[in-house]
A and B are shown apart, each in its own frame.
Chain A
Amino acid sequence: MAETKSHIGTQNKKGQTYTDPWKMMNEAPRKPSFYTGSEVIKEAIRRASCDVMIAYPITPQSEAAALIGELFAEGYIGDYFRGESEFAVMSQCAGAAFGGARVFTTTAGPGTMRAMENFPMWAGARLPIQMIVTCRGINSPLSIQPDTLEIAYLLNTGMLVWHAETAQDFFDWILKGYMVSEEPDVHLPLALCCDGFFVTHTKDVVNLTPTEMCLPPYDPYRSPVPCMDMECPPVRMMRDPFVMKSNYISYATHASWQQEVWAAVERSRKHTIHWLDGLIDTENADAEVMIVASGTAVSQGREAIRLLEDEGVRCGLVKVKSLRPWPGEEIREATKNAKHIFVPEFNVTGWLAKEIKATIPNSERVHAGPHVCGGMTMPPEIIVSEIKTALGLRSESLAGRGS
């Protein structure tokens, strides 16, 4: 087997220095830069020591996927190509990860749905692929607008699922994501989600780590399952293939492996807390009124809190950063004083509110809303209105809502 050795302090072919990831992310000087979310994805991947990136066009991730092609042309990535569909791309990513590569891809909305069969396979095969999901509508009639419904479908795949609020989250979490998902006791794929357009197509000031620093390369021999490169002994995996065997041993094997995948999700908790400084962020956690949100709904919630403060209503905030592993205990603790919990979401079904209701005691405290979907924006005023209505306070009517 190829030897596992530290690359820290050595240089890659682009002259970047493989740097201790913790030092790179937490101690290295940061440079403020004014970039779109798509450009930020490119800048993170420039520093991620990726071996293979596979692309496919779908709005709103096409720009990021194409920009990473530029990185390949510049020599920052080992290989890059356009696949033929999202289903194929996710399988190509799997092939590359089976072969021991650090793999990156991006998708959105209908692409996520088309590729769905791959995701439990990725998790089951323990492939630490990172996939950016720039969420958009998946409904018919056709929509390309922001909508986070697809995240609901990712939650039970066995993947790690994080939901970025800002481009800064994106930059940091892409790099930190590899550190969590490549841990030997985790070794699972990560779906790093954001709200399409709101994050990908708007410019923001993002503090970047130095370009001359990059993550150490992925070491496939730290994987808990063999890398498929014929560099370790090929052994007969089993006497009888478990597929289609109707016997207890077969059932027990499949059951225990599924349990192991979810145990690995649980084991990622400590690493995620370490790298993301907790699975949630809180503000005013002692307030009786709380907003719990993920993605850009957090930003809108923060704005709503400011508006409510002006009117004398004190409101707290929970920013949910990681959806898998699920921060159940943290949310229970952060909302223990709350009499009312509001969950604003950019989707029609309110999957986050359902998760929270299933987590906390006295779930009647949860107000599942407001919801916007199909590309609608969520002005903070509608969050304010929802909260004031629930509290029995007089709320000014919002234009066009007919209330």
Chain B
Amino acid sequence: MSKERIKISPDLYDIMPSDYQDLVQSATYGKEDRGWKDIGTSKELIEQHSLCAGCPESMAFRYILASLPNPEDTVMVGSTGCTSLVFPMVAVHNIHSLFGNQNAIASGLKRALSVRFPDRVKDVVVLAGDGATVDIGLDMTLQAWFRQEKFTTICFDNELYANTGGQESGLMQKGFVAKMAPVGKLFDKVRLPEIARESGCHYVVNCTVSKPSLVEKVIRNSVLIAREIGPTYIQLYTPCILEIGKNSMEGLQEMRDSEKPTERFAYKEYVSEPAKQLLAELAAKDKERKAAAKQLAGKA
């Protein structure tokens, strides 16, 4: 799909909702260098959200949608949770079906799109919370990786079940007192990034969303590697400020505190050998393209 496809008939233009008009006029579909810096100057692919004020998940959503390399041909798969409050307002096709089955849905979807569009790129990106990814959906998360399904899995890790009111989750820290963990969680935070690596993911990153440029790089890499090589996994700390007793303006600081070198969200990255090669090739091509553009600009 392209911007051409979403063009409005002139006769109907004035009756279309303004957010759709904006989408046609100033969305970044098809823009090769799209990224987080487009936020605020072009039409974002997330219209509004009904998350809590200051929720870091809303920042993460904006950065991810701004960073998708190919939104005009990307389908996203969500799951039940806070993310399902946002997806209805996202301007890429997205699927919510059940709780925890997101990687199974994405497996079928990616295969169907490959059968139907063998000569075109159709990216599939899963975005779900930690309960969906690690607890109820762990089987399907891992099995999709074992099968080397070519899509990206993004986990919004807020270390609890936020949408149901703050219950214990597998990604919660040990000792944290929460609903359903009345004496504190008794076992360690599940080490899914390591499990992802061992399960066959070609690109694994564990970080926060405090730095938009970093999120942009990670999301772009993860989608491009998944497209060409195999599964990728991104675990992003999006703290639930409500459930950890923080104020609306404190989310960013909470992420900064948690990404210090000794903390649990210190930046960690794994890249498989084939993925390293692909990234090197892409970087070389990018350099070439930029040099050519510079040359062209110089001539002009």
Contact = CB atoms under 8 A, between A and B. Distances in A.
Co-complex (A, B): yes
Interface of A: 1, 51-52, 54, 78-79, 81, 83-85, 87-89, 91-101, 103, 117-118, 121, 125, 226, 228-241, 243-244
A230 B1 contact: yes
B116 A101 contact: yes
Given A91-B108, A226-B93, A79 B116 contact: no
A88 B98 contact: no
B140 A97 contact: no
B116 A99 contact: yes
A133 B64 CA distance: 41
Interface stretch (B68-76, B185-193, B235-243): B68-76
A190 B112 CA distance: 19
A84 B112 contact: no
Contacts of A121: 97-98
A238 B111 contact: no
Interface stretch (B83-91, B154-162, B255-263): B83-91
A121 B96 CA distance: 10
Interface string B83-115: 011111111111101100100111111111111
A83 B111 CA distance: 13
B72 A230 contact: yes
Contacts of A81: 111, 147
A95 B116 contact: no
Contacts of B87: 241
B122 interface: yes
Residue with the greatest number of chain A CB neighbours at <10 A, chosen from B101, B106, B140, B143? B101
Contacts of A78: 111-112, 115-116
B122 A94 contact: no
B299 interface: no
Contact of B98 (A100, A117, A238): A117
Contact of A237 (B74, B88, B109): B88
22 contacts: A51-B116, A79-B115, A83-B143, A87-B104, A88-B143, A93-B108, A95-B105, A96-B108, A99-B116, A101-B115, A228-B95, A229-B122, A234-B6, A234-B93, A236-B19, A236-B47, A236-B88, A238-B89, A239-B48, A241-B85, A243-B80, A243-B84
Contacts of A234: 6, 90-93
In the A-B complex, the 6 residue pairs with the closest CB atoms: A95-B108, A99-B112, A78-B115, A91-B104, A96-B108, A101-B112
Contact of A233 (B6, B19, B50): B6
A153 to B, nearest CB: 17
Contacts of A228: 75, 93-95, 109
Contacts of B109: 95-96, 98-99, 228
Given A51-B116, A236-B19, A85 B139 contact: yes
A51 B92 contact: no
Nearest to A101: B112
Contacts of A52: 108, 111-112, 115
A244 B51 CA distance: 13
Contacts of B140: 84, 88, 91
A52 B113 CA distance: 10
Contacts of A239: 48, 89
Given A88-B139, A95-B107, A231-B1, 12 more contacts: A83-B104, A84-B139, A87-B104, A95-B105, A96-B109, A96-B112, A99-B108, A229-B116, A230-B74, A236-B17, A236-B91, A240-B88
A94 B98 CA distance: 10
Contacts of B72: 230
B209 to A, nearest CB: 22
A91 B92 contact: no
A78 B111 CA distance: 9
B111 A96 contact: yes
B114 A79 contact: yes
Residue with the greatest number of chain B CB neighbours at <10 A, chosen from A1, A83, A92, A232? A92
Contacts of A125: 97
Contacts of A51: 112, 115-116
B182 to A, nearest CB: 25
A94 B109 CA distance: 8
Contacts of A87: 101, 104
B196 interface: no
